[in-house]
Amino acid sequence: MNCTSITRWTIRAAAATAIAAAGFAVTVPAGADPVWPGGPDIPGIPQLVPSPPGQISAPCSAAARACLRLSTNEGWLMDNGRVVYGPTPISHGRPGYETPPGTFHVAFKEPYHWSTMHNAEMRWAVFFNGDIATHIGPIEEQSHGCIRMTPEGAKAFYDYVNPGDVFEVVP
């Protein structure tokens, strides 16, 4: 074999090996677990797994479609007093910017909102008390009044509630 044919053979063998390796990588499933299989892996924060209907109770009235408890940093979605989702972890307003308890109605919702007050993104925003909304945000930090949620929780609230629906916020 001369040098040219050895070089061609080596290139062809390398190309065939790369193609085979790429095909193998596509067909073999990943062996690791997903990063967020049931929610955040944060100590002290419950897993984000929708609860089976009828097994969990929330501290709000049967009129509420969304229920938020500030003292335990939890939120639920409700249907005629029955929990259909939650609890999901939340955070709320810091001292001086407290989220007020009360009964409110969803004013509007936006999949992507930009806060001009705080120069911040508010994805899956559901506004229920003036400029206070639920949206994606770091749940380990308190806000300027909004309800921060995990991405899954914020999306579930956004998809479930509609303008006019009752939001209850309890201490």
Q: Which two tokens stand for residue 124?
A: 């899956």
Name the CA radius of gyration of the chain, rounded: 24
| Residue 105 a catalytic site member | no
Per DSSP, 47 falls in state -
The SS3 assignment for 77 reads strand
Catalytic residue among 105, 118, 135, 144: 135
Among residues 60, 67, 92, 146, the one annotated as catalytic is 146
Beta bridge partners of 93: 143
Neighbours of 24 (CB within 10 A): 9
- Are the CB atoms for 26 and 18 separated by under 8 Å? no
Clarify whether 135 is annotated catalytic: yes
List the catalytic residues. 135, 146
